Copies of this chain bind each other. A is one copy, B any other.
């Protein structure tokens, strides 16, 4: 007998019919003799509806009360889902974030999980119950309700799998696995049977929306075997595992991120501490910085360029303008019509030729590269947003065509 954590997103439990189908998947797993913990998101549009209700009352509700409100969404999901499992004649119990002792920090709206107290979960599993748990939510040290922000339900599932030392954590979604690139824009994309945590991390941080980074990071840290699988087809999905170079491919996937803006600070004094000053200012405002490039000093000055998510561009610009004198730059150049296109693959470590092949594909399509950034398992380029779709296509053709 294995212990399996199965996570289903909001579209998978959107209405009574969806709930019944998913209950069928869970029942099949349970009847095969496995212990099952089910983690659910709020139904379809519930969160949006709750936010709309809040807006009717207040333009800027406090994060604490917003979390109090939004956490009802998953509670509704788990109760309805448990009722559906009851009709199948199987023993089931639903539990909220506080009931399973999912403890977080105080960062309302985007809380980090500190620990999952397993006592209640174990009691219910020992009783042979199917345990249905609210994703996305926890409580802080004062027992106030918090929500986990983006990817919160995936992260809940992985955290529970880690705490219970589960044999497998299945993330059910509306796609049937991880692809070499987005199959909606490149029809030739093909599904990967396996991928490493690191590759998945790069893919999800680069805009492939199958799994959120936080959940993959946690799975990697606690050695939780993941599977990305479709809640519609029931076919085997993609296994996310440890190890290097799964499948004999240099490149596992091509991905694209349009939610990116570039800021260049030009004419900085070529002195130590500039980068520290800039990025500590941004970090203090919780502005996430991605690709960072620093030019080689020319004479007395240098330039620093970096990317931020588009919605943080204004905040970043404001803080940098405010501290213009302290930082000491002559010009700030902003571009928000760009995309980041990347190739990812554990197999490309030490294989410089892979990057060259990527650049060759872009050159052949006459696509100009604005910035390049590389890590051990990825190569990213910033290009004009208008070229992004074609860039993904030609790179994918190059490696998987």
Task: Tell me, in angstroms, the Cα distance from A79 to B20 when the chains sit together.
Answer: 30
Bound-state Cα–Cα, A64 to B95, Å:
11
CB distance B82 to A75 under 8 Å?
no
Instruction: Judge whether A56 and B16 touch: CB under 8 Å.
Output: yes
Interface residue range, chain A: 35 or more
Cross-interface CB contact of A54 among B50, B80, B144, cutoff 8 Å: B80
- Whether A58 lies near B84 (C-beta < 8 A) is yes
* Chain B hits for A75, CB < 8 A: 68-69, 71-72, 75
Kindly list chain B residues whose C-beta atoms are within 8 Å of the C-beta of A59.
Answer: 87
Most buried by B among A19, A57, A58, A76: A57
Quick one: closest B residue to A76, CB to CB? B72
Tell yes or no: A143 within 8 A of B by CB: yes
Chain B, residue nearest A75 (CB): B72
In the complex, A66 Cα to B78 Cα: how many Å? Answer: 11
Q: Of all chain B residues, which has the CB nearest A15? A: B56
**B68–A79 touching, CB < 8 Å:** yes
A62 within 8 A of B: yes
Given the contacts A68-B75, A72-B75, A79-B66, A99 and B50 also touching, CB distance less than 8 Å? no
Find out whether the CB atom of B76 lies under 8 angstroms from the CB atom of A61.
Answer: no
Are B57's CB and A20's CB within 8 A?
yes
Q: Mark A81-119, 1 if CB is under 8 A from B, else 0.
A: 111101100000110101100000000000000000000
Report how far A144 CA is from B54 CA in the complex, Å.
Answer: 27
Partner of A83, one of B58, B83, B98: B58
Set of chain B residues within 8 Å of A78, measured between Cβ atoms: 68
In the complex, the answer to whether A19 meets B83 with C-beta atoms within 8 Å is no
Find the B residue at minimum CB distance from A50: B76
- CB pair B99 A83 closer than 8 Å: no
Interface pair B62/A76, CB less than 8 Å apart: no
A76–B69 touching, CB < 8 Å: yes
- Residue pair A87, B19 in contact (C-beta under 8 Å): no
Q: Are A69 and B79 in contact (CB under 8 A)?
A: yes
- Chain B proximity of A93: nearest CB distance (Å): 8
Q: Are B143 and A57 in contact (CB under 8 A)?
A: no
With A50-B76, A98-B98, A99-B143 known as contacts, the answer to whether A82 contacts B68 (CB < 8 A) is: yes
Contact residues in B for A96 (Cβ distance below 8 Å): 68, 145
Query: Does A258 have its Cβ within 8 Å of any Cβ on chain B?
Result: no
Q: How far is the CA of A54 from the CA of B96 in the complex (A)?
A: 18
Q: 0/1 per residue, A23-60, Cβ < 8 Å to B?
A: 00000000000000000000000000010011011110
Whether B86 lies near A62 (C-beta < 8 A) is yes
Q: Closest B-chain residue to A71, C-beta based?
A: B75
Question: Does A387 sit at the interface, judged by CB under 8 A?
Answer: no
Question: Does A65 belong to the interface (CB within 8 Å)?
Answer: yes
Q: Whose C-beta in chain B lies nearest to the C-beta of A143?
A: B99
Q: Are A69 and B80 neighbours in the complex by a CB distance under 8 Å?
A: yes
Taking a contact as CB atoms under 8 Å apart, the answer to whether B99 and A57 are in contact is no
Chain B residues within an 8 Å CB radius of A54: 79-80, 83
**Can you report 28 residue pairs joining A to B where beta carbons are below 8 Å apart?**
A16-B56, A53-B76, A54-B83, A57-B81, A57-B84, A58-B84, A58-B86, A58-B87, A59-B87, A61-B83, A61-B86, A62-B83, A62-B86, A65-B83, A66-B79, A66-B83, A68-B75, A68-B94, A68-B96, A69-B76, A69-B80, A69-B83, A71-B75, A72-B75, A72-B79, A96-B145, A99-B144, A120-B143
Which residues of A approach B to under 8 Å, CB–CB? 15-16, 19-20, 50, 53-54, 56-59, 61-62, 64-66, 68-69, 71-72, 75-76, 78-84, 86-87, 93-94, 96, 98-99, 120, 143-145
